[in-house]
């Protein structure tokens, strides 16, 4: 099998896993994954992503509680809209990271004051920091899969972004992009169906 075929096979076989075995992940493995993440492209080659690695069961529990409390408040605020039941089902796995031995919080630098003044609502998109961090997260997850580990990228938890940032002691100039749950898989999810090229792309010639 060629290197290209191996890469394409790796891409197709990666799954989002939300149930993890209790096996710990060695620090040197996590460091190897972060090193792989750091080879992602970044806007202006600034490499201004940051990875906060959480293995503390107490801190993960506090993060989970913050996420659950935030979504409970959202559901309560929308109780009369008839959406509460749908919200409960929709948000059930937003704190799935709590069962993973490792949680990696990926953050990016927020636009500077100058960028915000010049670019206003396009500052975040133009700065590219969040997009760069997302590409780094994908590198990390693919590297984990190549090493036989499972991951799940979680963004629903970011409804509690401010509280999570406080718990993680993030710098004021950093904003969470996603949480990555990491560990040994305790399940093998089936491959979800993928949309065809015709549904997701168009060619302007």
Question: What pLDDT, in 10s, does the model give residues 118-159?
Answer: 768 787 777 889 999 999 999 999 999 999 999 999 999 999
- C-alpha dist (Å) from residue 62 to 24, 30, 97, 163: 20, 22, 12, 10
What are the pLDDT digits (tens) for 152-193? 999 999 999 999 999 999 998 999 999 999 999 999 899 999
Crossing angle of the two packed helices 27-37 and 129-146, in degrees rounded to 10: 130
Where does residue 50 rank: exposed (0-12), middle (13-18), buried (19+ CB within 10 A)?
Answer: middle
User: 116 vs 38, which has greater pLDDT?
Assistant: 38
Token pair 């991951």 in the structure block, residue: 151
What does the alpha-carbon distance between residue 31 and residue 176 come to, in Å, rounded to a whole number? 20
Could you give the domains of the chain? 14-79+94-188 (3.40.109.10)
Tokens standing for residue 131: 């997009």
The per-residue pLDDT for 131 is 95
* Neighbour order of strands in the sheet with 49-54: 49-54, 102-109, 174-183, 150-154
Neighbours of 142 (CB within 10 A): 18
């Amino acid at each position: 099998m060629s290197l290209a075929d191996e890469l394409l096979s790796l891409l197709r076989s990666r799954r989002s896993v939300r149930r993890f075995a209790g096996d710990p992940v060695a620090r040197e493995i996590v460091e190897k994954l972060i090193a792989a993440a750091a080879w992602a492209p970044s806007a202006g080659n600034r490499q201004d992503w940051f990875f906060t690695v959480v293995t503390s069961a107490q801190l993960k529990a506090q993060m989970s509680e913050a996420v659950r409390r935030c979504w409970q408040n959202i559901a309560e605020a929308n109780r009369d809209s008839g959406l509460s039941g749908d919200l409960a089902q929709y948000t059930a796995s937003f704190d799935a990271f709590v069962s993973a031995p490792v949680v990696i919080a990926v953050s990016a630098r927020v636009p500077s004051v100058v960028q915000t003044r010049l670019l206003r609502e396009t500052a975040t998109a133009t700065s590219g920091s969040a997009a760069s961090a997302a590409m780094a997260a994908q590198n990390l997850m693919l590297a984990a899969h190549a090493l036989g580990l499972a991951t799940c990228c979680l963004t629903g938890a970011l409804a509690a972004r401010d509280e999570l940032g406080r718990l993680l002691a993030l710098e004021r100039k950093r904003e969470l992009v996603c949480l990555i749950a990491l560990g040994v898989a305790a399940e093998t999810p089936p491959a979800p169906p993928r949309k065809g090229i015709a549904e997701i792309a168009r060619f302007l010639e």
